[in-house]
Structure 1
Amino acid sequence: MAQDDKMDMTMEKSKNDRARSDQTSRIGVFKVGQIVFSELGWIFREQSTSDYGIDAHFEEVDEGEPTGQLIAVQIKTGDSYFTETDGTGYVFRFSTWHKQYWLGHSLPTIVTLVHPTNELVFWQHINQSTVLDTGKGWKVVVPFTNRLTIDSRNQLLQRAEETVVNNSDSVIVGHNFPSWTTDVQDASVHSYLEIDQRELFSKASLDEPELLIAPMLNCMRNAKHCIHICAPFVDEDFIELLCLLSQFVAVKLITNDTSKAVIESYFKSPKVNSKDIEMRSGSDMHIKSIVIDNVVLFETSMTFVNIFARRSSDYHEFTYEIRESEVLKKYIESFDRLWTASRRLQLQS
């Protein structure tokens, strides 16, 4: 057989494998959505943007009204997810990157396992009490008893509320470090503002690119009142992050006019869920900063595009955390002036 023919056959097989995988994934998403809508009576929103580990959101509906209580969901479909058990449930393994992403998510997060043959769906929360260190990676056990049905509603909400309460003052969001998590969390009653974020995350031996954004995202996640952002360029993933944070605090973004189309296109989707969020644009906006609760400032050289992408070791940017009152005062005043001078964007969500 000619080399070209072998290459064509290999490419065709790869294409067919991808098609089957995509079809299996779609079956899983459809089944989970069907249960959430028809049995739980909640809203199911599939993620239409790039998949970084969250496939959909559940939103609780109470007496016909959406409550704004959201759960982030990773959906896994296939026979392979049901081959390993520990006697109590199915063992679901994942990478350090996924562990950090899911534990650092702004919302309580669950994983769902969909059996492609019998279409049964099992679920488990991903939080600091369920994630286990295997020495080579991470895992959670998805209990045999955790079937996603109408009977799951109260347990989903209860566990989600526990996750929010446990994380609301946590200084460790975005990364879970079993060897010293408990001590830091016990101290977290003093709130994230009393913790040196850079020093905290340096204990985890993070790569420099991760260390660049971990303190900033951690403070954003733990904001109590407001987050004000100046970002010349943004993408859909960063907008989505701000929408999620707007469920808990007031969010304001000033960006460049060049990002206007991206933002307005994003908010045209009926799947967008935002609450207390405002965005404005200007023609000459170059500042890159985030002020959280008017008490901590992050000044950075990086753009807010592909913020969750894994960086190479030669990625060179800077992010400074500033808490000096006089510097903060100047940034807050500058933000107010820019806000007044910029044009309001129409967010249709």
Structure 2
Amino acid sequence: MSMYISDEDFKVLFQKYVDDTMTPEEFRQWRIMLLDEANTARLDEMLEALAAVDQSEYGKDAFIYGPQKVRSLRIWWAAAAALLVVIGIGFLLRQRPVSHPQLAEKYDIAPGSKKAVLKLADGSVITLDSASKREIHQGNTTVQQVHGQLNYTGTEDVGINILTTPRGGQFQVVLPDGTRVWLNAASSLTYPTAFKGAVRLVEVSGEAYFEVAKDDRKPFRLKINKQDNYIDVLGTHFNINAYTDEDAIRSTLLEGRIKFNTTLLSPGQQGVLQAGTVRVLNTVDTSAVMAWRNGIFNFEGQHLKEVMRQLSRWYDIDVVYEQDVPDVVFGGKILRNISLTQLLKILEDADIHFRLDKGGKLIIQPK
């Protein structure tokens, strides 16, 4: 079903949706229009215009870090709900309930934050968070913590450190050679306090983004999940997703060259390791791969279980399914700094049924 409407009337309806002032008849008309692909361009234009409004009017501020520049993107929560879910051929939204009693604030869960645990060479453990600013001494090695980042100074002492983020945490570290690493939630990085020998060897589990300092005389080697899988680089930028609950290990190259086991990758390519074999994807949306580091969920083309694995790691919740998993495909983006309650309200608009139990268990229910 399609319905013609002028650009001016489309803008009026869009603003009423944003302001939550639609009448039932206007909402029926709005829903029909969103299901018509002919209106996609107009909706994109409205969302881009909304993203440019002043923060004092609409709130939340996120920063998108592109390869060459930094720009500010302001997104209002309710507008994000309007583009989040794609089911079938178009946008499907149902009228937002006035209240969500099953999502009472006392059950709400805050989004993830900058937090981690650092295990030193002597076995001692230090809890890290975003607020701390301090120096950590181990022998002649000094580690500076500046809020959500660790910085290692040059040292001759060699010891092994392990940086681990829990579910609901992320952290950054600058290694002794100047390599910068961003750790996503439920991930770990094992590395020496000084790089001696012919190779700079570190080990990762979970997900991380690397900007490797170039050193032609000493290649950088990444071991994955304590297994015989490696990425070899000289100086490059790449992302590695090696969560054990995903169906494959994926390495995406943004800049430079890497070798994933024996397979060479060029910028924009992704190596996918399954059953011991690396296959190369030549067309990859690198902005979607890097969304987590830029403070965004990018659900484009993802199925419900894929989305739920991300939410489980970021909000530190357990997700269970009462029966068969609904066959829902998502699309769009949402900031990662919203609370679980806010995000679940968006899922309700997508006609996903669930309940949130005390203790952080999200139960997905059949329709």
What is the TM-score normalised by the length of structure 2? 0.26
What is the TM-score normalised by the length of structure 1? 0.27
Q: Which of the pair has more CA radius of gyration?
A: 2
